[in-house]
Chain A
Amino acid sequence: DSGVTQTPKHLITATGQRVTLRCSPRSGDLSVYWYQQSLDQGLQFLIQYYNGEERAKGNILERFSAQQFPDLHSELNLSSLELGDSALYFCASSVGQGAGLLGEQYFGPGTRLTVT
């Protein structure tokens, strides 16, 4: 158990809908990262927050948005869902804001999103 929690574990929804994925980082971790894992794209970085502020942005679609709250939990919002958004969405956390000092990223169990 990494200490990172994600809810829900599974989510099935229809095209065009909007969903929210939630992540609670390990106690003491200030950075939260979101990644998407799909068969065709592999593991792709989406976005990172550090202590409430956006730190880095990857291949995140405009239909997707995220935020980190004062209690450090994070939410990833996916809207106007398409079939291709079906994937495993991981949240990771680390103490530091980069891969350097205190930069080990620990991953949650993931949320499996199925868009029908």
Chain B
Amino acid sequence: AQKVTQAQTEISVVEKEDVTLDCVYETRDTTYYLFWYKQPPSGELVFLIRRNSFDEQNEISGRYSWNFQKSTSSFNFTITASQVVDSAVYFCALSEVPIYNQGGKLIFGQGTELSVKP
């Protein structure tokens, strides 16, 4: 069965610190996609990244970077030089590739609440 575990429930850092949010997933499929979403206090879910299971290259987007390691079934997210505006709940999610039109539901982790203090 598919499962996503975000073991860190809450993380608190001081502005300008680097912080890594952990995500471990379980799936029996060889083809799947991983996602990260941000949920700020306003409540909406903001798409950050999608990565397929065949692409293990790390990705960097500004202060954000993602480390995908199939060997450990992890897809960790690092924020460099954190800012107060990064305070939010971050969700990691997993989706299998649809076969015969089975759709693309996302299985979410429980989320990590990041608090960045000035």
Whole-angstrom distance between the Cβ of A116 and the nearest chain B Cβ: 20
Whole-angstrom distance between the Cβ of A86 and the nearest chain B Cβ: 15
Q: Is A11 an interface position by the 8 A CB rule?
A: no
Across the interface, name the chain B residue whose C-beta is closest to A54: B103
A residues near B97, Cβ cutoff 8 Å:
98-100
Q: Give per-residue flags for B39-58: 1 if the beta carbon is below 8 A from chain A beta carbons, else 0.
A: 00001111100101000000
Across the interface, name the chain A residue whose C-beta is closest to B91: A43
Indicate if the CB atoms of B50 and A56 lie closer than 8 Å: no
Q: Which of B63-118 contact A (CB under 8 A)?
A: 91, 93, 95-98, 101-111
Whole-angstrom distance between the Cβ of B34 and the nearest chain A Cβ: 9
Across the interface, name the chain A residue whose C-beta is closest to B97: A100
A97 to B111, CA, bound (A): 25
A65 to B43, CA, bound (A): 24
A110 to B44, CA, bound (A): 7
B residues near A33, Cβ cutoff 8 Å:
104-106
Whole-angstrom distance between the Cβ of B55 and the nearest chain A Cβ: 12
Q: Which of A23-81 contact B (CB under 8 A)?
A: 31, 33, 35, 42-45, 48, 50, 55-56, 58
Q: Give per-residue flags for A100-116: 1 if the beta carbon is below 8 A from chain B beta carbons, else 0.
A: 10011111111010000
A58 to B110, CA, bound (A): 17
Residue from the set A55, A88, A94 with the largest chain B CB neighbour count within 10 Å: A55
A residues near B32, Cβ cutoff 8 Å:
99
A87 to B8, CA, bound (A): 23
Indicate if the CB atoms of A48 and B105 lie closer than 8 Å: yes
A residues near B95, Cβ cutoff 8 Å:
98-99, 103
Whole-angstrom distance between the Cβ of A111 and the nearest chain B Cβ: 11
- What are 24 A-to-B residue pairs whose CB atoms are below 8 Å? A2-B46, A33-B104, A43-B93, A45-B105, A55-B98, A56-B102, A56-B103, A56-B104, A88-B43, A97-B98, A98-B95, A98-B98, A99-B96, A100-B33, A100-B52, A100-B98, A103-B50, A103-B104, A104-B47, A104-B50, A105-B47, A105-B106, A106-B47, A107-B45
